[in-house]
Amino acid sequence: MKLQFKKNDLIESINIVSKAVPSKTTMSILECILLDASNGKIELMANDTEFGIETECEGNILVPGKVALEAKLFSEIIRRLPQDNDIEVTIETDERNNAIISCENSIFKIAGRDGNEFTVLPKIDRNQSISLSQFTLKNVINQTIFSIALNDSNKKMTGELFEVKEDNFTVTSLDGHRISIRRTKLNDKYPDAKAIVPGKALSEISKILTGGVYDEVVLSFSSNHIMFEFNNTVVVTRLIDGEYFHVAQMLSEDYETKIQVNRRKLLDCIERSTIFVRDNDKQPLVLKIEDNVLGLKINTDLGTMDAEVAINKTGNDLMIGFNPRFLVDALRSIEDEEVSIYMSIPRSPCFIRDDKETYTYMILPVNFNADAV
């Protein structure tokens, strides 16, 4: 095999597929990136058997072939080549799968592996597919991903529910303390589909997507996998087994207090309160709703903060406590200038949602000592 690349093209492809190289594995071949130039194009691939990425790279095929190279060493060599992004890099292999990497006056020789040993991505039928813009997919992931659980105590909580019903696409996440839901309209009607997609995979996909309004991404569903196709890149991830939580039963339309508030002013105020919060702090941010004023108070070992924000209130006065970071995550993901927040009693969750319900955020309250406030 002998290939020629521009450094910038090669770096870009390595950066994409490296996201699927496992940090720990007992199978050394999974620590590699596959260079495959056996089918008239150059493809780079990484695959940890649960999550895999394949991308096409610009370059010239002088001699076709394939080889698997240790990802960390390979990427480090390419990154340390001269800074000129248009500089030419040549990679060729010998009969023992050693790879010779040449660039200007530098030559590197590293051990490779037979490319046929590499586990390729599973083939996914495109019979059940939807199409949407990269802008939309990137947004709905970023606007919900913060609500997944970070541990494996309940594996379903570490993923997001993707649900397709005709021309409606809904993404849902929850971690036991909050729920995030984003709904968007598709350009066409599609057969119903439902899948629990690992949050880790979605985080990496979000980083690769360009986010262009006119750039398309195609999602294809199978019983065990979901495939994302965009920008000459294919991403396949195994789905999380099981039935997702019945989220609709956790949502309520009833409320006794509704406030409408300027999102930016409220967010700025809550973010200032987090100055006094450390990771293990249990002290809540207490919201005191009276007339058309929202009072915010936090009291920790580091200090206190009292603030007020003007609101429009409907219903009862209320005093309720929340983890301020949960409020910040939800408010940051909303673009609306004004937000509506619905509450009932101090022990019931609050709901942040718009009239069209394109988004719904539910946050459970935190107990606090009302006498100390």
- Pick from 248, 273, 305: which residue ends a domain? 248
On whether both 133 and 239 belong to a single domain, the answer is: yes
On whether both 336 and 359 belong to a single domain, the answer is: yes
On whether both 349 and 241 belong to a single domain, the answer is: no
- Please tell me the predicted confidence (pLDDT) of residue 373: 58
Query: Does residue 82 lie in a domain region?
Result: yes
Query: Does residue 355 lie in a domain region?
Result: yes
Span 97-116, average pLDDT: 95
Query: Does residue 103 lie in a domain region?
Result: yes
On whether both 282 and 325 belong to a single domain, the answer is: yes
- Please tell me the predicted confidence (pLDDT) of residue 301: 85
SS3 state of residue 301: coil
Q: Are 6 and 88 in contact (CB under 8 A)?
A: yes
Our count of domains for the chain comes to 3
The enclosing domain of 225 has a CATH number of: 3.10.150.10
Q: What percent of the chain has pLDDT over 90?
A: 88
On whether both 230 and 257 belong to a single domain, the answer is: no
On whether both 322 and 265 belong to a single domain, the answer is: yes
Q: Tell me the C-alpha distance between 27 and 160, whole Å.
A: 28
On whether both 289 and 342 belong to a single domain, the answer is: yes
Query: Does residue 42 lie in a domain region?
Result: yes
Confidence of residue 340 (pLDDT cuts 50, 70, 90): very high
pLDDT at position 281 over 80: no
On whether both 241 and 196 belong to a single domain, the answer is: yes
pLDDT tens by residue, 148-196: 998 877 899 999 999 999 999 999 999 999 999 999 999 999 999 999 9
Per the prediction, the chain carries an average pLDDT of: 94
Full domain range(s) for residue 213: 129-248
Q: Tell me the C-alpha distance between 208 and 45, whole Å.
A: 14
3-state SS, one letter per residue, for 134-170 = HHHHHHHHHCCHHHCCCCCCCHHHHEEEEEEEEEEEE
On whether both 188 and 135 belong to a single domain, the answer is: yes
Query: Does residue 354 lie in a domain region?
Result: yes
- Pick from 62, 95, 117: which residue ends a domain? 117
Q: Tell me the C-alpha distance between 322 and 286, whole Å.
A: 7
Query: Does residue 123 lie in a domain region?
Result: no
Q: What is the phi/psi pair of residue 15, to 5°?
A: -60, -35
Query: Does residue 122 lie in a domain region?
Result: no
On whether both 274 and 183 belong to a single domain, the answer is: no
pLDDT tens by residue, 283-298: 899 999 999 999 999 9
SS3 state of residue 250: helix
Q: Are 367 and 354 in contact (CB under 8 A)?
A: no
- Pick from 57, 89, 117: which residue ends a domain? 117
- Please tell me the predicted confidence (pLDDT) of residue 266: 98
Q: Tell me the C-alpha distance between 256 and 261, whole Å.
A: 17
On whether both 237 and 282 belong to a single domain, the answer is: no
Confidence of residue 86 (pLDDT cuts 50, 70, 90): confident
On whether both 98 and 139 belong to a single domain, the answer is: no
Query: Does residue 124 lie in a domain region?
Result: no
Q: Are 231 and 260 in contact (CB under 8 A)?
A: no
